[in-house]
Structure 1
């Protein structure tokens, strides 16, 4: 039940490509008001009686709203006092933390409610509740309630994310990642993910030693935990900080397994391939990619079937391998049938993916470097030929068609090799993500 509530509140930050739709918005009933003057909303309408009537209704509406606002403020202050008190029992603080989650979720203006709770000073005592007071069940409940409250306060609120980290939340969260309690570990992973979305927090989180623990969750965590771990690692590794603080070659195997099992055009694949490209820049990372079962093949398949972003990262990783040692990696990449996907990428990828694909094709050719045509030279030759056949007005269109025909012909020539490789591979069962 707790897990479902968290996913409802946090899915816009945690789920890949999802969009949160609120259950209700709280539309105001009554006439459409076009102008405001002071606290009373005045409609633009004709007739002496209608304007006064609508002004009176607007005034009543404002009074009701003011009553609701004051009531909400009083409730927030009461909750804050319970959390900050040193004489209140732990069970009362647990209920107060739960009330924060309930109020934020039910509020028609959740953004303002989050800010009001923070202004009331609830964040420091909630962070304090993350520290273990004992190993009792009530202590576990206190940490769980505090985590859920903090997650709700941090959601879609940059200031609260920064306040939570500034209040010292990272050390107890790191300890919770080591905890042998699946639900708390998953919530702590979600919290690291949420807090790492704020650029100001990234140096503190990256330096906390959280990287190896997130990598461990990639292999042994729950499905949601692994998804959150990838996104958190992506947040931290793509910042200005040294990615080695959170990433090392040990993450290649679990990342590659996750990439095998996901849709190559998904947002999850985009983040996973981004991490693999970063890892391909080190010798240890390249060795791990090569030694991973089906590692190079998985990158080739991503080049063929991925989104614009994931294909760019996948070809970047392959290029990094081949540039580091052409003699070592050229045959390994060629035998996985990379040419058709690379040729297509030169025409259909992002500008950077096209450039990388051309560079990799140059490295994969048989001829010595000094005698090889660059891919841009090949395109100029095709363009010149098209201009002679159809004239300069239609040359670009004809050249593109000729290049596409070359890709198609290359794919046909490679088909027998691909079928032979497929027939020699025995499919294995892997856990789906």
Structure 2
């Protein structure tokens, strides 16, 4: 399977990969309050808490037998939910920071039983399973194993039904899998786009960022762009772009730029009053925001004289002229191309809106 960085240009400052296990519910390794009860049970005293502090730091050295025991606890039909929680949590933590651990855990056969937890009715156990799968997916070598174990559909379900942490980490795990070209379309066809759009619209700050990053990667597939438009992605993107306090302006602008590469996306952006938002970004945004806004306006205007008229009527030309005289070479070229489009003679008959 080919790997893609899901990059449509210089987006490194707008998007970054999901880190492992960012839920924050685990105390730090130096916390004096860390104990076995903080980690889902266990009968040990201070020594057991010390083990878990090592697990959190990723510094513990463990044997193949330890991992096999944890996997056996997950697979045993007689294991209690509490026992399974503890086993899943320990595998989750062992995979948290250490790339070698991720490879060793996957090689020991943990992927299939962890994927089975993604559909478990116990919310905490499902959350541990989702996050363990995310942590394992941070190694490219594990992604094919995870997909082959059938993780995509239950991860999509976790986006809608899981705890807030499970939903966020499911978005991150799907992002990691979507970095494989062959899986991107499969994830879209499994129904991931609508719950990611819902997370983008109504999730917390971290959930919105994770959803935007996952969507940006998935939208490298053309058919996923149409799915995103159908799921109503344009309105929340424009709302985020218009809200500097969201911390999401750049991310939302890049995702919108991917959406308007298809006719449905261009039509939706215009219908949702996206042109004023983009023109304002050209006028008042950062240099990076100005560039991506011009790129989106170019996409919108290329094949539609009607849309060009709307952009010109919004007062875009003075800001574009200023940008063409003072910006980077790439921004100048885009601004000049858009100015030329806007100055083309307007047709009065047979105009195509797309």
TM-based fold match above 0.5: yes
SS at match of 1:14: coil
Match of 2:148 among 152, 156, 166: 166
Give, in whole Å, the separation in 1 of the partners of 2:308 and 2:294. Answer: 13
The equivalent of 1:219 in structure 2 is: 201
The aligned residue for residue 243 of structure 1 is 224
Describe the SS at the equivalent of 2:158: helix
Aligned pairs for 1:23-42 within 5 A: none
Give distance in 2, aligned partners of 1:251 and 1:347: 34
1:151 aligns with 2:131: no
Tell me the equivalent position of 1:272.
Answer: 252
TM-score w.r.t. the length of structure 1 is 0.60
Question: Aligned equivalents of 1:342 and 1:272: distance in 2?
Answer: 21
Q: Which residue of 1 aligns with 2:302?
A: 323
Do residues 115 (structure 1) and 97 (structure 2) align? no
RMSD: 3.1
> Who is 2:342 aligned against?
364
Question: Does 1:289 pair with 2:289?
Answer: no
Give 1:215 shift: 1.7
* Match runs of 1:8-407 below 5 Å: 13-14=17-18, 69=61, 71-105=62-96, 110-132=98-120, 134=121, 139-155=122-138, 157-179=139-161, 181-239=163-221, 241-244=222-225, 246-248=227-229, 250-262=232-244, 268-293=248-273, 295-306=274-285, 309-326=288-305, 328-349=306-327, 351-365=329-343, 368=345
Higher RCO (CA 8 Å, separation ≥ 6 residues): 2
Change (3 A) 1:104 1:187: closer
Higher helix share: 1
Task: Report how far residue 233 of structure 1 moved.
Answer: 0.8
String of CA shifts for 1:122-170, please: whole Å, max 9, x gaps.
11100011123x4xxxx22211111122222223x11123321221111
1:94-129 CA distance string (max 9 Å, x none): 101111233334x6xx11111111111111100011
Contact kept, 8 Å, 1:207 with 1:245, in 2: the verdict is no
Report the secondary structure of 1:248's partner residue.
helix
Residues 81 and 364 from structure 1, CA distance in 2 versus in 1: closer, same or farther, beyond 3 angstroms? same
Inter-partner Cα distance in structure 1 for 2:227 and 2:217: 10
Q: What per-residue deviation string (whole Å, max 9, x for no partner) do you get for residues 187-226 of structure 1?
A: 3223222332343432321221211221222222222222
1:398 paired residue number: none
In the aligned structure 1, how far is the partner of 2:71 from the partner of 2:166? Answer: 24
CA distance in 1, matches of 2:321, 2:215: 31
Q: Does structure 1 conserve the Cα–Cα contact (< 8 Å) formed by 2:226 and 2:265?
A: no
List runs of 5+ in structure 1 lacking aligned partners: 1-10, 16-22, 25-67, 370-433
Equivalent residue of 1:242, what SS? helix
1:60 aligns with: none
Give, in whole Å, the separation in 2 of the partners of 1:175 and 1:200.
21
Aligned to 2:350: none
Q: Give the Å deviation of 1:309.
A: 4.9
State the partner residue of 1:374: none
Count, aligned residues: 294
Alpha-carbon distance in structure 2 between the residues aligned to 1:169 and 1:163: 9
